[in-house]
Structure 1
Amino acid sequence: MYLGLDLGTSGLKGVVIDDKGQVLAQESISLSVSSPQATWSEQDPLSWWQACVDVIGQLQSRLDLSKLKAIGLSGQMHGATLLDRQGDILRPCILWNDGRSQAQCQALMAEFPDLIKRSGNLAMPGFTAPKIRWVQENEPAIFEKLAFVLLPKDYLAYRLTGEMSSDCSDAAGTLWLNPETRQWDDALLAATGLTQANMPTVYEGCDLVGVLSEGVAQQLKLPQLPVVAGAGDNAAGAVGMGVTNPGQGFISLGTSGVYFTVSESHKANPENTVHAFCHALPNRWHQMGVTLSAANSLSWFAKLVGKTVPELLDGLEDSGLKRTSVLFLPYLSGERTPHNDPLANGQFVGLTNTTNVDSMTLAVLEGVAFSLLDCQNALDSAGSVADELSLIGGGARNAMWRQIIANVLDKRLTYRDGGDVGPGLGAARLALLGEQQSQGKDIELLITEYCTLPDVLAEHQPDASVRAYYQEKYALYQTLYQATKNLNDRLAQLSS
């Protein structure tokens, strides 16, 4: 058996597979996010470790984990976990959806013209490097003690093994990695006052990085298992969905929304706010468009109106509503693709005395779909076209939302078995690949054998009868952000 640990924003999930790649069990523990100031988003890394211990304990109540052969990791990208020389945490982790470092992004690009060329990406507040510049400027006492910077899943790897490690898919989201060389870039590190001494060793996602330390193995009641480097959540999700070859892609409807495509080489296109990263598997890269509030938009609205998400979706389906004059911008945490604007605001437009919850729910589903169409257009302009598109993530469980996305994107979408555990399944598959590779087996043959596409549960063809409706509404959606951008900036200034 092989264990994948997926550290998300809202929870940590454990997925166990057998040596045929079949899922045997999964368990999860919820996590909370702190927002001490507007645009800030933080988590306590100690809560990740406790969740890891608890999830493994839950799995042990269902399976004999003494049969495990390896552990793989997946995690939310970009988070800045700061440690001192003793490996102790210096402050809460600054998360991927934190928007405080916009000024530092602008300064980095102005001071370091080669940043985009070397990293292949624009400096954005979500990335790790500008967060460190923010700490340097605003928390100098903490920066003075800073010895190591780890990404969230890599902190778990450190707690498990005692080794400072990362993988190239996750590390590419820091702005310190050169995606072409798949290693840290000294000049990029120097731009934020760091050197390679502050960074973990970078591996391919299926490489072994260490074994469970003796003390941790005793605590978890496990053998001293090998641990593989793992992957950033989106690359791990791709491995879990068998999206490993050029021309394949997927959409992830998690807290954020991701449109992911695989390429045979590093294809940077920062002008269109496309993320160009390494894949978790050797000799592969990927491009992404990202919308920061996907399923989170629906969760936010459900909380606002005092309902659960299932109640909202059931109510909308029962209503039979297919069109609405309400328009929603899902920019509750700012937006990445295509705007790179941490101060962008969520908005409802078109409300009247007759507007009801069902109309607003439909507008939220459509708004997130339009944000994914923005991503698709940006990727198309970068030459990253996906001929085969799968769906993963919690939001993808709803058939109505899947059909809306297919209609808006005007593409056939495939919902596959295991889509709700994509990154955790990918982490488990990486553990399997790593353990098998360590026995001398060829990695490309292993990828072909184990990184297969899961069974099809549903397919969604675009409905031509609503094409004109969505095209016209998308045009209004695009206009709305531009028309209100200055207003949003002024509102942000008033509240600061």
Structure 2
Amino acid sequence: MYLGIDLGTSAVKLCVIDGAGHLVAQEAVDLEISHPFEGASEQDCEGWWVATRTAIAALDPSLRTAIRAIGLSGQMHGAVVLNADRQPIRPVILWNDARADVECVDILAAEPLAAQIAGVIPMPGFTAPKILWLARHDPAAHAQIRHVLLPKDYIGLRLHGELVTDPSDAAGTSWFDQAARRWSSRLCDVSATDPAWLPSVVHGTEIAGTLLPDVAADLGLTPGIPVAAGAGDGAAGAVGLGAVHAGDGFISLGTSGQLFVTTDSYRPNVENRIHAYAHTVPGHWFQMAAMLNGARPMAWLAKLLDRPIEVLLAEAAQAQPGPLFLPYLTGERTPHGDTTIRGGFANLGETTTQGSLMRAVLEAIAFSFADAAQAFAAAGTTPTSVLAIGGGTRSDLLMQMIADITGISLGRSDDAVVGPALGAARLAVVACGDRPIEAVMHRPDVRLWFKPKTARDLISPSRLEAYRALYPALKVVQRHLR
């Protein structure tokens, strides 16, 4: 048995697979997010560890003792800052935090080639601008920093005691030289970062450390079992879908959204805000469009209306197109690179219902993937068929909308909701030497394909154009509000 741990934004998710790669068990424990001021998004890394322990404890004891190796996945870009005793100095600044906008501009001004080196233009969600922000706005905390980790690697530290990351998570920091696959001293210099603070980098299929005896006793696991370095959630999702060869791709519909395609070389495309990152497996990179607001607006609306999301989705399926929605609840990366823009509804009327509001939200998520596909096309990549992972894949209506408006066929497997945790477990299989990459990282069986409908009767191109007009319109409104 092999355990995959995925430290998401909204929950810690686990999966256990057997030697044949079949899913045996799953667990999840929810996480809380704090927003101490407008644009800020933080979590307590001790809360991550408590949730991880709780999720593992929920597994059957006999299953826990049978686990041979552990793999890790997690939300990217978060700044876990530790002191000399490897204790957290402050709450973790997350991937969807917008405070370091000015710092991004200053990094690019100090090093005009920063985007070419790091694979994408500096953005506030990345780790390096956050450290520069701390140097300027919380110098007492900055002065205590002796180690910086990515979120999943903090869980790794608690499991095995080492300071290790993998290329895909390192890639999302704005410190990583993607072509050379090593830390860039220049990018550290311009972001108030000592390179000595950064963890060692090994491929996700390699062993980062072995499970500490006291931790094993606490968790009911076997001491000394290997812990794979793992991968950032996007790359781990790719591993779970077998997207580890050039041309393989997928979309992810979690809290955030991604359109992801594996490449066999480093292919930056800074102009279109396509992320060009090192993959977690040797000799590969990937291109990714990253949207800060994936399926999250669906849960946001359900909570706002205090109604079950399943009921609202059923009503959305019956509703006629009416309102439009801009889904940028926490800003947006691809295609705008705008941390300050916020969402909004338009075209409301007397006949607007809660179901039509949810339909507008689903449309907006589909439209964001249309923007991502357009950015990919400008970068010379035009996927026609990809797999899909994440909680948002549960909605047939949303999947069909995305297929219709992007022209991309979407495949959903039985393990679509498992996502990055499955990839983490697969990395564990390889790391402990039980099976080679080729035998483990295969594509799952697709149970249902959502193919674009030529009539596009669920979603129309004219509504896409209306949606695209909302962004510049709301930018003007926003300027007045400020």
What's the TM-score, normalizing by structure 1? Answer: 0.95
2:374 corresponds to which residue? 377
Query: Would you say the 8 A contact 2:329–2:343 is kept in 1?
Result: yes
> Counterparts of 1:373 and 1:462 in 2: how far apart (Å)?
13
Report the AA paired with residue 264 of structure 2: E
> Counterparts of 2:193 and 2:459 in 1: how far apart (Å)?
51
3-state DSSP of counterpart to 2:351: coil
- Stretch deviating more after TM superposition (143-152 or 470-479): 470-479
Query: Would you say the 8 A contact 1:333–1:344 is kept in 2?
Result: yes
Between structures 1 and 2, the one with greater helix share: 1
2:226 corresponds to which residue? 226
1:52 corresponds to which residue? 52
Summarize the alignment of residues 313-324 of structure 1 with structure 2, pairs less than 5 Å apart: 313-317=313-317, 320-321=318-319, 323-324=320-321
CA RMSD of aligned residues (A): 1.4
> Counterparts of 1:470 and 1:103 in 2: how far apart (Å)?
38
Assess, with a 3 A threshold, how the Cα gap between structure 1 residues 357 and 196 changes in structure 2: closer, same or farther.
Answer: same
1:121 to partner: Cα distance? 1.1
- Stretch deviating more after TM superposition (428-437 or 166-175): 428-437
> Counterparts of 1:308 and 1:290 in 2: how far apart (Å)?
28
1:467 to partner: Cα distance? 6.4
Summarize the alignment of residues 349-428 of structure 1 with structure 2, pairs less than 5 Å apart: 349-428=346-425
- Stretch deviating more after TM superposition (37-46 or 243-252): 243-252
Assess, with a 3 A threshold, how the Cα gap between structure 1 residues 467 and 315 changes in structure 2: closer, same or farther.
Answer: closer
Equivalent residue for 1:465, pick from 455, 458, 462 = 455
1:469 to partner: Cα distance? 5.4
3-state DSSP of counterpart to 2:142: helix
Summarize the alignment of residues 68-217 of structure 1 with structure 2, pairs less than 5 Å apart: 68-217=67-216
1:456 aligns with 2:446: yes
- Stretch deviating more after TM superposition (102-111 or 187-196): 187-196
1:111 to partner: Cα distance? 1.6
> Counterparts of 2:316 and 2:476 in 1: how far apart (Å)?
34
3-state DSSP of counterpart to 1:452: coil
3-state DSSP of counterpart to 2:73: strand
Query: Would you say the 8 A contact 1:247–1:387 is kept in 2?
Result: no
2:307 corresponds to which residue? 307
1:245 corresponds to which residue? 245
Query: Would you say the 8 A contact 2:203–2:281 is kept in 1?
Result: yes
Report the AA paired with residue 71 of structure 2: G
> Counterparts of 2:480 and 2:154 in 1: how far apart (Å)?
39
> Counterparts of 1:474 and 1:427 in 2: how far apart (Å)?
36
Deviations 1:333-353 (A, max 9, x none): 001100000111101110011
1:151 to partner: Cα distance? 0.4
Query: Would you say the 8 A contact 2:404–2:458 is kept in 1?
Result: no
1:68 to partner: Cα distance? 1.4
The unaligned stretches of length 5 or more in structure 1 are none
Report the AA paired with residue 464 of structure 1: T
> Counterparts of 2:249 and 2:63 in 1: how far apart (Å)?
35
> Counterparts of 2:162 and 2:198 in 1: how far apart (Å)?
11
1:346 aligns with 2:343: yes
> Counterparts of 2:335 and 2:380 in 1: how far apart (Å)?
16
> Counterparts of 1:220 and 1:310 in 2: how far apart (Å)?
35
1:261 corresponds to which residue? 261
Query: Would you say the 8 A contact 1:41–1:98 is kept in 2?
Result: yes
Equivalent residue for 1:328, pick from 325, 328, 331 = 325
Query: Would you say the 8 A contact 2:363–2:459 is kept in 1?
Result: no
> Counterparts of 1:477 and 1:234 in 2: how far apart (Å)?
27
> Counterparts of 2:92 and 2:130 in 1: how far apart (Å)?
10
> Counterparts of 2:239 and 2:204 in 1: how far apart (Å)?
10
1:290 corresponds to which residue? 290
Query: Would you say the 8 A contact 1:261–1:385 is kept in 2?
Result: no
1:385 to partner: Cα distance? 2.9
Query: Would you say the 8 A contact 2:384–2:407 is kept in 1?
Result: no
Query: Would you say the 8 A contact 1:248–1:388 is kept in 2?
Result: no
Query: Would you say the 8 A contact 1:263–1:384 is kept in 2?
Result: no
1:32 aligns with 2:32: yes
Report the AA paired with residue 118 of structure 1: I
> Counterparts of 1:210 and 1:332 in 2: how far apart (Å)?
38
3-state DSSP of counterpart to 2:259: strand
3-state DSSP of counterpart to 1:464: coil
> Counterparts of 2:459 and 2:210 in 1: how far apart (Å)?
55
Report the AA paired with residue 472 of structure 2: Q
3-state DSSP of counterpart to 1:289: strand
1:175 to partner: Cα distance? 0.4
Query: Would you say the 8 A contact 2:384–2:408 is kept in 1?
Result: no
Report the AA paired with residue 114 of structure 2: L
1:271 aligns with 2:287: no
> Counterparts of 1:30 and 1:300 in 2: how far apart (Å)?
15
3-state DSSP of counterpart to 1:457: strand
3-state DSSP of counterpart to 1:98: coil
1:8 corresponds to which residue? 8
> Counterparts of 2:400 and 2:143 in 1: how far apart (Å)?
52
Report the AA paired with residue 245 of structure 2: N
Report the AA paired with residue 201 of structure 1: S
- Stretch deviating more after TM superposition (82-91 or 387-396): 387-396
Query: Would you say the 8 A contact 2:70–2:428 is kept in 1?
Result: yes
Report the AA paired with residue 407 of structure 1: D
2:43 corresponds to which residue? 43
1:482 aligns with 2:472: yes
Report the AA paired with residue 36 of structure 1: P
1:413 to partner: Cα distance? 1.1
1:148 to partner: Cα distance? 0.6
> Counterparts of 1:430 and 1:386 in 2: how far apart (Å)?
26
1:303 to partner: Cα distance? 1.3
1:468 to partner: Cα distance? 10
Assess, with a 3 A threshold, how the Cα gap between structure 1 residues 275 and 489 changes in structure 2: closer, same or farther.
Answer: farther
1:487 to partner: Cα distance? 2.0
Query: Would you say the 8 A contact 2:135–2:142 is kept in 1?
Result: yes
Report the AA paired with residue 388 of structure 2: L
Deviations 1:461-483 (A, max 9, x none): 11122269521111111122122
Report the AA paired with residue 273 of structure 2: T
Query: Would you say the 8 A contact 1:243–1:262 is kept in 2?
Result: yes
